Amino acid sequence: MTHDPGDPPPGPQDAVWAVWSGVRDPYRPPPAAPARAFALESDPVFTRSRITALIAVFVLIFAALGGRAAQVVLTRDPAPPQLARETPAPAAQRADIVDRNGQLLAATITAYTAYADARQVWDPDATAAALAAVIPALDRDQLAGRLASKRAYVPIRRGLTPRQMQAVFDLGLAGVAFEEEARRVYPLGPLAAHVLGYVDYSGRGVRGVERAFDGAIRAQGGANEPVKLTLDLRIQFALEAELAAVASEFQAKGGAGVVIDARSGEVLALASWPAFDPNEPGDADEASAVNRAEQAYEMGSTFKPFTVAMALDSGAVGADAVIDVATPLPVADRLIRDAHPLDGVQTLADVLAHSSNIGVAKLALALPPDVQRSFLANLGLLEPVALGPDNLLLSRPQAPRTWEPITAATVAYGHGVAVSPIQLAAAFGAIANDGVLVAPTLAPRAPGSEPARRRAMTADTAHTVLGMLRRVVTDGTGTRADAPGYGVAGKTGTAEVPIPGGYAKDRRVSSFAAVFPVWEPRYALLVLLEEPQGVAETGGEASAAVTAAPSVGRLVDRIAPILGVEPRFEAAAPVMAALPVRQASAKAPD
């Protein structure tokens, strides 16, 4: 485009247009030869490009601002970052643990950690004194020293309750603050401690149910659903109280107890003494840390009912058989004797009632050793058993590799094979359950689900042995286990403790295994004492007959009403009448 000389001269408003359009002002003299840089600045093409670029930059900026404005208006803001105090700790995701009736056994509560920014503490001594007055467990001098260190974070005390936190807060101390934390608590203290176990500082289950059910506890914690166990808190308390009483009375090294519903296999109570407080697991000493309910023991005479059942079940003898137990029985290089020698021949019922080693050894020797081994294996006494997932309370029995005649003879009266209290109670449950063994469990059976079960003996055998066990309580070594009205049937067991090279004559394991009520047996239980000491009241004796047996009687007295067992004072008579007594014409199996 050119400028016609006839037109009016362009005004100032046209200057921009001229520059924009690249027309040079015709009235302005041409510039002198410029320097190169100046030439670039004044180049209209270059200037136009700069303006274009500037406009583009502004357009982009405004587009970005508009876009962000539209985003802010039209879209949801991202969630604000969670404050540290609102972030649940791992333990907060753990579900509560409750018993079969919904009674709380373990829970996760919010606790507080008191800490100090020592740089803001005015007077370390006064602050430490004030804190120690509210939290007596604090070491005042040590805390004062740490507060004088001028560090930014000085932990004062973990696990404060809301009440303790408020008390510290009310002191109004400069520099003292709190952090929330999730804390696993066991409100019943030592009750069921060995079953429940505990968690570590990170909230991970390390023992007992807390470890074995860790997956379920975490999963159900998110859904706020408690994890239910088969335990009955009332039965558990009665068992632990009775176990503690008898173990203390006889100054036992330890003890264990178990109560099982023989029909479902559900463990109603499981105890080990001495107990510990799972709220402070670090304070547990060596004796209380051991769970004796899962430990293997040579049980002694509580094995004899299984030997009798085996002999009956295999057809080697009938229920009316009698055995000559008058003289000691030589087997291999040993002589098997009775602690209290009996006269002449005895019925099977009397062999059990008076706990004759000779009698049951003869029964075992009347059969091939493999029969005994497979019979005991069928009762779950030779294989590991666990009460829940992840090998919870895993019991590992100890059995000989080879099953020689001497092995069969000693195993017949409970030496040579070591099993846990859980296993023995479950095997007695098979006698109560018409000969059917139900696997014990701590996890409730789902409605409609069938527990793992297998037949360990015929129903007739189970009924016959049950009657004999009742006779043990009415006429034999277990009379102190009687709980009038509740039909207790059971067997004493006093075993010497194995040591390298033999058995310790002065160290014993005394136990009593029982089922009740005998007219409709449903519950199996066991009380075991490790190395009880004789007392004056028992004439210095510490056998199962005077230690564990009375304890079982008292326990049944306490738990039978809770379990809804209706007392009967005449119902045991028909069971007893069906038992043969001293039929001398029968042939002894020797």
State in angstroms the smallest separation of the CB of 433 from another protein.
24
- Annotated catalytic residue 374: no
Residues 309, 307: Cα–Cα separation, whole Å: 5
C-alpha pair distances (Å), 427 with each of 303, 412, 454, 482: 10, 15, 11, 21
Q: Using DSSP, state whether 444 is helix, strand or coil.
A: coil
C-alpha pair distances (Å), 396 with each of 139, 168, 292, 391, 411: 45, 50, 12, 11, 17
State in angstroms the smallest separation of the CB of 151 from another protein.
30
Residues 122, 147: Cα–Cα separation, whole Å: 10
Of 58 and 569, nearer to another protein (C-beta) is: 569
State in angstroms the smallest separation of the CB of 82 from another protein.
11
Of 164 and 458, nearer to another protein (C-beta) is: 164
Of 96 and 530, nearer to another protein (C-beta) is: 96
Of 19 and 92, nearer to another protein (C-beta) is: 92
Of 453 and 568, nearer to another protein (C-beta) is: 568
CB atoms within 10 A of CB 179: 14
Q: Which of 264, 288, 301, 395 is catalytic?
A: 301
State in angstroms the smallest separation of the CB of 159 from another protein.
13
C-alpha pair distances (Å), 378 with each of 426, 430, 435: 12, 10, 11
Strands 436-438 and 322-324: unpaired
State in angstroms the smallest separation of the CB of 62 from another protein.
16
Residues in the chain: 590
**Alpha-carbon torsion angle 406, 412, 416, 417, nearest 10:** 140
Q: What is the H or E stretch that residue 196 is in?
A: helix 193-196
State in angstroms the smallest separation of the CB of 91 from another protein.
12
Residues 339, 342: Cα–Cα separation, whole Å: 9
Of 33 and 72, nearer to another protein (C-beta) is: 72
Of 180 and 383, nearer to another protein (C-beta) is: 180
The helix, strand and coil proportions of the chain, stated in percent and rounded to the nearest 5, come to 40, 20, 40
Q: Using DSSP, state whether 486 is helix, strand or coil.
A: coil
State in angstroms the smallest separation of the CB of 162 from another protein.
7
- Show the tokens assigned to 434: 């018409």
In the chain, the amino acid numbered 302 is T
Terminal alpha carbon distance of the chain: 138
Cβ atoms of 252 and 239 closer than 8 Å:
no
- Is the peptide bond prior to 517 cis by the omega test (within 30 degrees of 0)? yes
**Alpha-carbon torsion angle 145, 150, 151, 153, nearest 10:** 80
Residues binding another protein (CB under 8 A): 73-74, 76-77, 86, 96, 103-105, 107-110, 162, 185, 187-189, 191, 224, 233-234, 237, 241, 483-486, 557-558, 560-561, 566-570
Of 104 and 219, nearer to another protein (C-beta) is: 104
- Rounded to 10°, the helix 357-365/304-314 angle is 40
CB atoms within 10 A of CB 7: 7
State in angstroms the smallest separation of the CB of 341 from another protein.
33
Active site residues: 301
